[in-house]
Structure 1
Amino acid sequence: MRKNYPYVRVIVDCTEFEIEQPANPQAQQGTWSTYKNTNTAKGLVGITPNGIVSYISPLYGGATSDKAIINMDGSQSLIELLEDGDNIMSDRGFSLDSKYTHLTLIHPPFLDRQKQLSSQQVLQTRIIARHRIHVERCMEYWFYICTFFFYI
């Protein structure tokens, strides 16, 4: 990781938990996840490059986008914890607002108007995926722990 991306401070991804359908119609709309096709609560998880969970956001309604969650500001936000020059590694669903010029978001390249990725872009995608798999594993583990404590 340090060889390919020496300035990555955190690797992020969002996870969703199914919740009961709220009685309030506005809450139903705010928690509806088209991805999960049910009502969910959604949170951002960040791990360090060496695999330690370093950030768990407050939970938001499932309708909240990954982009909106990563760009939240305030005392509990990930943005407030990062320093000038830090890099964030993510999947394609994330993007930073233009006001965060002091940070860099590293994610797999998009096709844009190309028919296929160049060989360099394919290599970059594989390297990023190899590093991001750790956050996926941590999130599965975190989900099982939260589920266990919920049912106790």
Structure 2
Amino acid sequence: MLALHFGLSESSVTKYFKKTLPKVAICLNQLIRWPSADEVRENLPIAFRKRYSKAISIIDCFEIQIEKPSNALHQALTWSQYKSCNTIKYLISITPDGLINFISEGYGGRTPDSTIFEDSGFLDKLPLGGIVLADRGFKNIAHLLEQRGCTLLRPASVGSSSKPTAEEVLQTKRIAAIRVHVERCIGNNQV
């Protein structure tokens, strides 16, 4: 599309794009910063103040569709069962007021959310004592957060053998209502 729009060959546009994109990424990376816990609390939306006043981060993973790699191993590593195509997956964190404060390096679409969480360097950024909100895909990460003095809040896992209690249903609704902020951020910014 860029080649047609600017009257250039596709190979020229590809060459310019490959040269320019890393430089743009370096510049834009400087705009992603982790605010202090005090800054997060000062800008805490009303919806968080009563029950989640120590919330420091809302995390999720998002996937971007890519061309099918020619290498069979790369095809397998980037295949996303969820999207039914080859993808690159990223961990994103936002503050409760919607500021993007962390984006991981890309991982193959097959990589579990919990593996990206553990490997991405996100834990090194967390201040002590904060609450991290996540969805059900982040299984088995509570112990990692506890080691950093933080707490994980995520909806209760749905099991086929047991019916959730009324309190679990209410807690899940509350978490979903405030986690929607990260979903909107991903959707609005098309990151």
Q: Same fold (TM over 0.5)?
A: yes
Measured in 1, the distance between the counterparts of 2:62 and 2:178 equals 18
Of 151, 155, 163, the residue aligned with 1:104 is 151
User: Hey, what does 1:79 align to over in structure 2?
Assistant: 123
SS state of the match for residue 54, structure 1?
strand
Question: How far does residue 115 in structure 1 lie from its aligned partner after superposition?
Answer: 2.8
Name whichever structure is richer in helix by fraction: 2
User: Hey, what does 1:65 align to over in structure 2?
Assistant: 112
Name whichever structure is richer in strand by fraction: 1
Which amino acid is 1:31 matched to?
Answer: T
User: Hey, what does 1:23 align to over in structure 2?
Assistant: 70
| CA-atom RMSD in angstroms | 1.7
Question: How far does residue 57 in structure 1 lie from its aligned partner after superposition?
Answer: 1.1
Gaps of 5+ in 1: 147-152
Which amino acid is 1:98 matched to?
Answer: H
Structure 2 length-normalised TM: 0.69
Larger-gyration structure (1/2): 2
Does 34-43 or 105-114 show the bigger shift? 105-114
Gaps of 5+ in 2: 1-47
- Whether 2:138 is the aligned partner of 1:94: answer yes
Measured in 1, the distance between the counterparts of 2:126 and 2:112 equals 21
Q: 1:113 to 1:36 in 2, by over 3 A?
A: closer
Q: 1:115 to 1:66 in 2, by over 3 A?
A: same
Identity of aligned residues (%): 38
Q: Would you say the 8 A contact 1:71–1:97 is kept in 2?
A: no
Does 113-122 or 128-137 show the bigger shift? 113-122
User: Hey, what does 2:180 align to over in structure 1?
Assistant: 133
Aligned length: 141
Which amino acid is 2:70 matched to?
Answer: A
Which amino acid is 1:35 matched to?
Answer: Y
Q: Would you say the 8 A contact 2:67–2:86 is kept in 1?
A: yes
Which amino acid is 1:92 matched to?
Answer: R
Measured in 2, the distance between the counterparts of 1:64 and 1:111 equals 22
Measured in 1, the distance between the counterparts of 2:80 and 2:104 equals 18
Does 92-101 or 22-31 show the bigger shift? 92-101
